[in-house]
Structure 1
């Protein structure tokens, strides 16, 4: 763990005895903020994720997120440069220093394309999708699942190399559910941590005796591929209209016509089937 000091009057912070200057706020969520900082010594930009730890559980979750980052050294998984826990005004914050990617998230790139009335070239879709798959495979090979794969959790560098981020929802890939109480606990957890329009069907209504495994990520992965093709997720509109995503995921997803991107490299379909008997069908390339 790094050595943490509070923000000083000159707008700088210290992590692991290295100084970083605050530049600007980049983003914020319910319990976290992301700031752009610059290394005083190397002049490189970094993203500083500050997680507010309101209680012991929050502290434990932040510690788990740092441990998930430290577990991987992979070009398609966001690297943790340094981290520390800081006490500010009687409250604890977890500071995660991460590489900064000026291109932003996959979602921000898709939004810009949609605003221009354009689309992502097929070659670029395949390149990005392959990188996401490689990062996800590395997570699964360690026996874990990401649980919140979505376009906003994929960063792109200047060469369009995708990097998976936000590892706070990761947990063991295989979860054996024994009884109604455990099922409800997992279902409630998924409702809080797994984005609704990218959430696998088995996480909406968790059965009292079942196995939840890494295939939840494969469902989300298919939704991300769809989003790259159509510039919106298969259930984004359902959610925006206030309709039930839980009901919508019970039916097969088909590619709308006309579609400017047509995959012809494969003769089959990539299908994802679960105990709910829901199927996500996308082109197999």
Structure 2
């Protein structure tokens, strides 16, 4: 599967003997862009992610992203429909055909709430957050870490089911660092692949002899929860102002007094966002706490943060 691709005519492609029609561009990044395509036979929409592989390492990274998708069959992790590597003029592109989720990202939903001066009801927040935790637990249970968890990497379907996407930064959960050279390698990699305002403290100044593990994701998960509660990440403004995020993450997270969510949710947030990774909980504990809060959550609407 995934090794045959041909461009049959303008506006259509064929992957694994199935034709898809180009509809429109969806997104564009530094070395990748995403198109909306429609299946010729089934009439369904798909997201076609194209990754420009400018060298052998980039191709290996694209192959790794494909393999990460193939590892999982979980409702809260974006599946892979098909893939192919296309060679043209000495250049390679990796094409990943993914399900199209119309509602968009968690971030786009939070932005709309902020624009309306509203916020997410706690019951709905807990439902979405529980799904994020469930997907993350599946990743951790297989011995991997996502490494770039943030609201723009969480899709929401029409039923508000969250789906984790962008698995390109995933790698083995446990990284043993032996010496200053390895520490600098990990630190440089994190600077390139882990979004700064959601990056765990231990990735800013990697120690010469340490173990980096999946609890980097727990920190990012806390930042996502904070963003869901406050409609902006805890370090977004610090980064935008040009101040040091690396310095800010060493201090305990501050929850604004205006936050109207339950004490239980605030305690959970504080429990997750712990600067010392050794004191951070694992995803199983976090999911248990969320499910406990769900069982106690009021049905009332939260109108303002």
The TM-score, its normalising length taken from structure 1, stands at 0.94
Aligned length: 284
Task: Using the TM superposition, give the Cα deviation of residue 141 of structure 1 relative to its aligned residue in structure 2, in angstroms.
Answer: 0.3
Displacement of 1:88: 2.6
Match of 2:58 in 1: 58
- CA deviations 1:168-218 (Å, max 9, x no partner) are 000000010000000000000000000000000000000000000000000
Structure 1 spans left out of the alignment, 5+ residues: none
> 1:196/1:37 Cα in 2 relative to 1: closer, same or farther (>3 Å)?
same
CA contact (8 A) 2:215 2:277 kept: no
* 8 Å CA contact retained: 1:201, 1:278: no
Tell me the residue number matched to 2:43.
Answer: 43
1:178 equivalent in structure 2 = 178
C-alpha contact (below 8 Å) 1:128/1:160 kept by paired residues: yes
Give the structure-2-normalised TM-score.
0.88
Coordinate RMSD, CA, aligned: 2.1
> What CA distance in whole angstroms lies between the structure 2 residues aligned with 1:267 and 1:170?
29
Whole-Å separation in 2 of the counterparts to 1:55 and 1:139: 28
CA distance in 2, matches of 1:42, 1:153: 27
Deviations 1:68-101 (A, max 9, x none): 0000000000000000001133311000000001
Rounded Cα–Cα distance in structure 2 between residues aligned with 1:46 and 1:107: 20
1:202 aligned partner? 202
In the alignment, what sits opposite 2:271? 270
8 Å Cα contact 2:48/2:98 also seen in 1: yes
Task: Tell me, yes or no, if structure 1 residue 211 matches structure 2 residue 211.
Answer: yes
Please report how far the alpha carbon of residue 116 of structure 1 lies from its aligned counterpart in structure 2 after TM superposition: 1.3
Larger relative contact order, structure 1 or 2 (CA cutoff 8 Å, min sep 6): 2
What whole-Å deviation, never above 9, does each CA across 1:124-175 have from its counterpart, x for those lacking one? Answer: 1100100000000000000000000000000000000000000000000001
- 1:4–1:255 Cα change, 3 Å: same
2:161 corresponds to which residue?
A: 161
1:48-127 → structure 2 map (5 Å cutoff): 48-127=48-127
Asked if 2 retains the 8 angstrom alpha-carbon contact of 1:62 and 1:168, the reply is: yes
Alpha-carbon distance in 2 for matches of 1:250, 1:24: 43
Alpha-carbon deviation of 1:7?
Answer: 3.5
Q: Which string of whole-angstrom CA distances, capped at 9 and with x for unpartnered residues, describes residues 22-68 of structure 1?
A: 00000010000000000000000000000000000000000000000
Q: Is the 8 A contact 2:253 2:273 kept in 1?
A: no
Structure 1 position 5, deviation (Å): 3.2
Verify the 8 A CA contact 2:234 2:253 in the aligned structure 1: yes
The structure where helix makes up a greater share of residues is 2
CA distance in 2, matches of 1:215, 1:265: 20
Distance in 1 between the 2:225 and 2:145 partners? Answer: 18
